[in-house]
Structure 1
Amino acid sequence: MHPPALRGILAATDLTEGADPVIRGAAALATLTGAELHVVHALELYTLPYLDLQASRQMFDGWIEAAAEALNDQIRRAVPPHITPASSELMLDSPHRAILRRARDVASELIVLGPHRLETLTAGILGTTADRVVRTAEVPCLILREPLALPLRRVVVPIDLSEPARGALDRAIRWAQAFAAPAAAIGLPAVELRVIHIIPRLARVEGTGPSRAVVGPQLSAEVTQALARCGAASHLELREEVLWGDDPAEEIVRYACEEQA
């Protein structure tokens, strides 16, 4: 399967070195899909009550100049030489509003961003900006904490059997094939797709929740229907698993790490 045709990919950066994988990942996907690469940084200005208008204006000008220079430096550092971004924009707005507005302005079909929270303080938790963007964006979002490894070899898709989860499963199937290594090149299935459903462990303790015997057939049916919708190729290796977990989010992360997804 050929990579999906995308018109534009928007990479959102906070200008830290931690956002370099976001820029590099977006650039790699733009290369594979033929999409235009757009980069955005949002600068939220605030006033200090003890400064007069002229001093505030000078301070704002200094912030804007420093941010613009840092954005250019990051693009030179993180974007491969053979790629020229279609645009790099510094927007004066709250981060989540700026990202969503810029995505609409450039007709982006994918937003790539980082978790935007210091791991040393709250590891594994999305920051406010990433959370708001993911919840309200009109296009798919990709959160990158680490460099994106291409081609894909193993993809984990957690689903809760809801309607939104069907869309995520369809997208995962199409992208897993599109961004996989050619089967002939490695002599193995091009990509492994693990579709998992987490049952809260509390349900087993109380004895009133679903069981593997109930959820398993439902999960298999969802996967079968998704494969029919997507026309999946035969070289896709699929595994379905129903797992118990105290916290579904933690169980998903644990599983993905252990399986080296």
Structure 2
Amino acid sequence: MPRTILFATDLSADNRAAFARALRLAYAQGVQLDVLHVLDPYLPRRVLLDVESAVVEDITTMLTDLREDYALEAPKTLIQTVTGSPHVEIVREAHERNAELIVLGMHRKRGQKDLLAGTTVMRVLRSAPCPVVVSSHQPTQPWQHILVPIDFSLTARHTLKEALIRFPEATLTLLHAWTLPGERELGSQAYYAHWREHEVQRLREQLSNEVDSLMRELEGVPDVELVLEQGAPCDVLQAYMKRHTPDLVMIGSRGQPHHTSQLTEMLLCEPHCDLMLCRAW
């Protein structure tokens, strides 16, 4: 079975950037690009054949247009339609093809957090057997600045490893949000400030050791910068993204199929850049 990236499209204009990103990724990684569209299973059979033919024609046309617009080389490509529930079929196809990556366009309910739960994007993120890219920004170049929020978890370590292996040419920023007990009550005390400085230095050393141990396992790793900022993870991440505008944020799933983290919801609700969600292990 060939190595593949699976791009699932709903044929909307919002999917153009994601389609172009999928093309760029497939060519750069030397893998086949499988383009999938899920048809409504309740269409009359005589209509279904006509719709299927029109869908394949539209995808082929879009593929040609994108290659010309972005001057992209064409990877080996397979276009396919299936019928069923979109998120179920996308996940099933990813399993059957042993896909290395799923690429989706950004959902259309931006800024409406309460409406995210039932979207195809959110459902695929919860059940995908491989990393999922949600892309909405124009892929004029490969991702150059990648942001990876980290902590001491297995999930964060696995996500960092994915970043190091997949994007050896990129610059990685590892962002850790920290808080300490007693800040509100004792923050103005001189002895507390000294203790806080010591604790933050100890935290930095522990994180640096974690990163160094992982990088020693790999070769040809990219440049890595470790940034520690005080505050809640969502607030720290959002503020950093507004100041530095990374191309991609990579975060890990906690392996809970019916739960999505606050970080994921925030990034999908207010997409400042592309997002990659990796499995916990």
TM bin (shorter chain): 0.7 to 0.9
- 1:10 CA displacement: 0.9
Amino acid paired to 1:87: L
Residue 28 in structure 1 maps to residue 24 in structure 2: yes
Q: Normalised by the size of structure 2, how large is the TM-score?
A: 0.68
- 1:73 CA displacement: 3.7
CA contact (8 A) 1:15 1:74 kept: no
Equivalent residue in structure 1 for 2:206, among 213, 218, 221: 218
CA contact (8 A) 2:30 2:75 kept: no
Q: 1:196 to 1:106 in 2, by over 3 A?
A: same
CA distance in 2, matches of 1:69, 1:203: 63
Q: More displaced, 38-47 or 198-207?
A: 198-207
CA distance in 1, matches of 2:224, 2:133: 22
CA distance in 1, matches of 2:53, 2:6: 22
Q: Which residue of 2 aligns with 1:242?
A: 228
Q: Normalised by the size of structure 1, how large is the TM-score?
A: 0.73
CA contact (8 A) 1:199 1:242 kept: yes
Q: Which residue of 2 aligns with 1:260?
A: 245
Equivalent residue in structure 2 for 1:41, among 34, 37, 40: 37
Pairs within 5 Å for 1:68-87? 68-79=56-67, 82-83=73-74, 85-87=76-78
Q: Deviations over 1:17-50 (max 9, x none)?
A: 1111111111111111211111111234458xxx
Q: Which residue of 1 aligns with 2:259?
A: none
The gaps in structure 1 that reach 5 residues or longer are 1-5, 48-55, 181-190
Higher relative contact order (CA 8 A, sep 6+): 2
Q: Deviations over 1:161-210 (max 9, x none)?
A: 21121111011122331xx2xxxxxxxxxx42211112369985478xx9
Q: More displaced, 130-139 or 62-71?
A: 62-71
CA distance in 2, matches of 1:10, 1:242: 35
Equivalent residue in structure 2 for 1:157, among 128, 139, 148: 148
Q: Which residue of 1 aligns with 2:177?
A: 198
Question: Moved runs in structure 1, 4+ residues, more than 6 A?
Answer: 200-203
CA distance in 2, matches of 1:151, 1:72: 23
CA distance in 2, matches of 1:90, 1:73: 16
Equivalent residue in structure 1 for 2:157, among 137, 147, 166: 166
Amino acid paired to 1:41: H
- 1:119 CA displacement: 2.4
CA distance in 2, matches of 1:96, 1:141: 13
Pairs within 5 Å for 1:175-186? 175-177=166-168, 180=169
Equivalent residue in structure 1 for 2:127, among 128, 136, 161: 136
Q: Deviations over 1:131-174 (max 9, x none)?
A: 22223222222221212353443221112321121111011122
Q: 1:72 to 1:202 in 2, by over 3 A?
A: farther
Residue 102 in structure 1 maps to residue 93 in structure 2: yes
Amino acid paired to 1:255: Y
CA distance in 1, matches of 2:179, 2:52: 48
Q: Which residue of 2 aligns with 1:3?
A: none
Q: Which residue of 2 aligns with 1:51?
A: none
Q: Deviations over 1:90-132 (max 9, x none)?
A: 2211111111122233332111112323326459x68632222
CA distance in 1, matches of 2:135, 2:96: 23
CA distance in 2, matches of 1:37, 1:30: 6
CA distance in 2, matches of 1:44, 1:64: 10
Amino acid paired to 2:33: L
CA contact (8 A) 1:117 1:127 kept: no
CA contact (8 A) 1:115 1:126 kept: no
